[in-house]
Structure 1
């Protein structure tokens, strides 16, 4: 995710970090070259292209704008829902830790071990959710928080976060049977586990259910057709200004198209996607600090205005 102050009026035209220009410059260049070629032909041979009315291009541009606007709204809604889910995960992890430290009987070693094990599993769950959504290897971040006895079975599971949640449920059940806390508090802590499971399921739903391909294909085709036909309709009235105007319009339409694709999948590593690594590290630091540990990992700092 991009983390920077709003650029001033001068820098805003030259800022590339987080911009979609690196992804769409081939399309912009192609439209500009096509517009330039058409303008040259029109200048050398004035009767090559008849004078078209701009009304069809205006109507098509309005329709395309509506399509792109709807798709960007849908993509942003997915992005914002994903951010809200990770905010809920931060809340649940902190709340569960507070309940474990406050209401699990720590007068004996069993209670203290239960507190530490549950909190470590909560940290492991957070890292496992991030890696599952990004399709990366979780073992370096997860295994250090899980008891070695579970490593072999953990590597065989199809859904690592769900496996860790089941371990946490068993730990909570053992606490109930050992009377380490009251029935009411065990139920409250189980509600936190349920809420974390809901976060996992909702994130998987967003990750596994993209916007309909047919709609994306329609927007792609219409954008290309509109930008490639536009110079023919403008050259007779705009003359040498046609390449510039077409380039600006291509930047707008292709940019909105690509930006919606980037926001559609909010869990990746692109510049405008969510900083899941930083959020996971925040949860890890908060929970280890609650356990009284002093050897804490550092916060994830932005690099060149980018927070991973």
Structure 2
């Protein structure tokens, strides 16, 4: 386990209203390895599991990623029912086959076709929720890059600029924790980004991502503040930059809100309940349709069919809620947060080199 006492953070005496030095790049660099270890440990369920692009062998022989635990109850119920039917059919009653021949036509034409359509629609809706959430995270990453790029290029006050970036990074991490229903985010996830006081204030509010964007807006206004002595040209430029970056922060909150709606609004229960009822009844009816012809082979036939149909339902259930920290098929949000932090460090480092270490005469080469 990680020792929180050894984590390097910004000094607790760092007052957001003061003008004392606040080098965000330095504090993140000191805590970078801690952040990597923390995020990789927290997100190992998604990071370490095989991906769909890893080839047939690695993806064919997996178990946990199939989410069998979500459909174990109906699966075993249908198989045990098939076993009971075969015992009665083969050892007790020996039902006449011609009496049930009508099932062999009714089952595939009516039940199987209708059920397949329902399952496909269910999986399609769930996959759309998963992919929409992934798109929103992609937008968060892209907007954050553009916002940091604009800040390091146009912001003149380094302390206020760093604080805007600091709270944007906080927003990204806090969004991940909120989508996972984490009441108190781990302090290690904000090492080098927030000091102890800032973390406690952020963790004590009802909606940390919104708090982070409010803080970012406050310091953004200070970065591009104008007064009566500001030349008109500079005032216009600052106003335009402020409006553009305010719009970016608005888009960040829109992305967060979209994913919160996905998390809070599952598919209507009327559809899911009807589908599951129809699915279970269809599985229980298989032995009556094919049992007289298949005999004991009905049991493996029911097992394979149940696994195939219920597997689609399991995939739908996993994809419908893509934010779980303990599901293999959930979004790899820890890697997204690390990507944002890495990109921000690169942008700050490049800006430092451009303004401090590159000789002016090299610019003419």
* TM-score of the pair, normalised by structure 1: 0.85
Corresponding residue of 2:345: 288
Count residues with an aligned counterpart. 286
Equivalent positions of 1:1-308 (< 5 A) are: 1=46, 2-4=49-51, 5-8=54-57, 14-44=61-91, 45-47=93-95, 50-53=99-102, 54-58=104-108, 59-105=110-156, 111-136=157-182, 137-140=184-187, 141-142=189-190, 144-146=192-194, 150-178=198-226, 182-269=238-325, 270-292=327-349
Equivalent-residue separation in structure 2 for 1:52 and 1:147 (angstroms): 74
Aligned partners of 2:280, 2:154: CA distance in 1, in Å? 61
Which secondary structure state, in structure 2, belongs to the residue aligned with residue 86 of structure 1?
Answer: helix
Which residue does 1:299 correspond to in 2? none
TM-superposition CA deviations, 1:213-261 (whole Å, max 9, x none): 1211111111111111211111112222211211111111111112111
Alpha-carbon distance, 1:150 to partner: 4.2
Matches of 2:342 and 2:251 in 1, distance apart? Answer: 21
Q: Over aligned residue pairs, what C-alpha RMSD do you find? A: 2.3
Answer whether contact 1:207 1:265 (CA < 8 A) is retained. yes
Question: What is the CA deviation profile of residues 174-225 of structure 1, one whole-angstrom value per residue up to 9, with x for unaligned ones?
Answer: 1222579622112211121111111111111111111111211111111111
1-structure distance, mates of 2:260, 2:333: 14
Q: Distance in 2 between matches of 1:183 and 1:273?
A: 41
Q: Distance in 2 between matches of 1:81 and 1:252?
A: 26
Measured in 1, the distance between the counterparts of 2:191 and 2:222 equals: 22
Distance 1:46 1:285, change over 3 A: same
Residue 22 of structure 1: how far off its partner (Å): 4.2
User: Per-residue CA shift, 1:83-130, capped at 9, x if unaligned?
Assistant: 00000000011110100001112xxxxx11122111111111100000
Partner residue in 1 for 2:5:
none
Q: 1:144 offset after TM fit, Å? A: 4.7
Contact 2:141/2:340, CA 8 A, preserved across alignment: yes
Q: For the residues of structure 2 that align with 1:196 and 1:57, how far apart are their CA atoms?
A: 50
Query: Which residue is 1:300 aligned to?
Result: none
**CA offset at residue 55 of structure 1?**
2.5
Unmatched tracts of structure 2, length 5 or more:
1-45, 351-365
3-state secondary structure, aligned to 1:291 = helix
Q: Distance in 1 between matches of 2:192 and 2:198?
A: 11
How far apart, CA to CA, are the structure 2 residues paired with 1:263 and 1:21?
A: 14
Shift in Å, 1:156: 3.3
User: Using the alignment, how far apart are the partners of 2:283 and 2:50 within structure 1?
Assistant: 32
Decide which moves more: 52-61 or 196-205.
52-61
Corresponding residue SS for 2:62: coil
